[in-house]
Structure 1
Amino acid sequence: MENREKKRIMLVGRSTAGKTTLCQRISRRDLAYHKTQTVQVINQTMIDTPGEYLERRSFRGALMVTSVEADYVVFVQSATEEGTMFPPSYNSQFAKPVLGVVTKSDIAAQEQIEKAKKYLHMAGAKTVFVTSSVTGEGVDALMAYLGYEQAEE
């Protein structure tokens, strides 16, 4: 592995977008759904935020405050979700680079995946990864981009 540090990421997305499951996949943990109630730091490198922080405008300030601790903000959009919670150019709210991650690609049609990618690009994510935490699709590419080549311990 190159001599570069793993980047600390903050995952933002609506409830059931797949943020926690993606963290579990990156950490090589068993996938088990649980509702994230508060901001959680996983392996010192991933900040998992509750979906309500995006869904309720009055909580969005908490995302901006929390993002101070991150190297990247990651917008997480489920391919199976109709519509999006990310406003256009939402990336401008953060003083950090923004990545996009489409989740649940294993249970979505290609048209749904393309629409999710479009939502993320409109929100300001320049780089977008298409992933499935169940099959692992796209997760290795995301991990390599962030410097997570080795399994998270």
Structure 2
Amino acid sequence: MANNKKRVALIGKISSGKTTLKQRLSNEEMKYSKTQMVSYFDDFIDTPGEFIELPFFSRQAINIACDAGLLIMVVSCVDSQNSIPPNFIHTFNIPAIGVITKIDHQDCNIKRSRNFLAYAGIKPKNIYEVSSETGAGIEALEEAIHHYMDPIRNPNLK
């Protein structure tokens, strides 16, 4: 079995863009599919949005993320309602960054999304704005992921 500490966990609401973001970062074909269960890939752990939206499942989010080396909290900039509990990110004992998706959308509200991530406990300097469709912001996000994950994936870099 693979060591999950070498993977990045993606957590966020339903339709926040977690799977599409994973597809973009993995250079996969972009196709929509509802994530029904936790999906393990070489570099990522993709979680269902219910882990954030339904308090009953928050323990599963915690269990999954504790096995990862980095947590990415994903928020769509077109989502007007926050479901992330206050300071939720401090539950985890791993580095965490926030990603605002869908920045190419006409109804995008980045300020509101930044507030949602700050409410969850993400520091403003650790928030990245991306469009998985156009690729905007992906390069900066990839650099951030490598910053946290390269020492974990290759212990000789420590």
Query: Which residue type is aligned with residue 89 of structure 1?
Result: N
Aligned residue in 2 for 1:146: 145
Task: Output the TM-score relative to the length of structure 2.
Answer: 0.84
Q: Is the 8 A contact 1:7 1:147 kept in 2?
A: no
1:95 and 1:117 mapped to 2: Cα distance? 22
* Greater RCO structure (CA 8 Å; 6+ sep): 1
Counterpart amino acid of residue 94 in structure 1: F
Give, in whole Å, the separation in 1 of the partners of 2:84 and 2:139. Answer: 25
Residues 76-129 of structure 1: CA distance to partner in whole angstroms, max 9, x if unpaired? 00000012111221112111121100000000456x111101210121112000
How many residues of Structure 1 are paired with residues of Structure 2 in the alignment? 141
The alpha-carbon distance between structure 1 residues 7 and 117, as it changes in their structure 2 partners (threshold 3 A), is farther
Tell me, which stretches of 5 or more residues in structure 1 are unaligned? 1-5, 149-153
> Identity of aligned pairs, percent?
35
Note the 1:91-102 alignment, pairs <5 A. 91-102=89-100
Q: CA RMSD in A?
A: 1.7
What amino acid maps onto 2:56 in structure 1? S
Evaluate the alpha carbon distance shift between residue 13 and residue 75 of structure 1 in structure 2; reply closer, same or farther with a 3 A threshold.
Answer: same
The SS at the match of 1:136 is: coil
Q: Which residue of 1 aligns with 2:18?
A: 19
One-letter amino acid of the structure 1 residue matched with residue 25 of structure 2: I
Instruction: Give the 3-state SS of the residue equivalent to 2:57 in structure 1.
Output: helix
Residue aligning to 2:87: 89
Q: Is this contact kept in 2: 1:7–1:146, CA < 8 A?
A: no
**Structure ranking higher in helix proportion:** 2
Name the TM-score, length of structure 1 as normaliser: 0.86
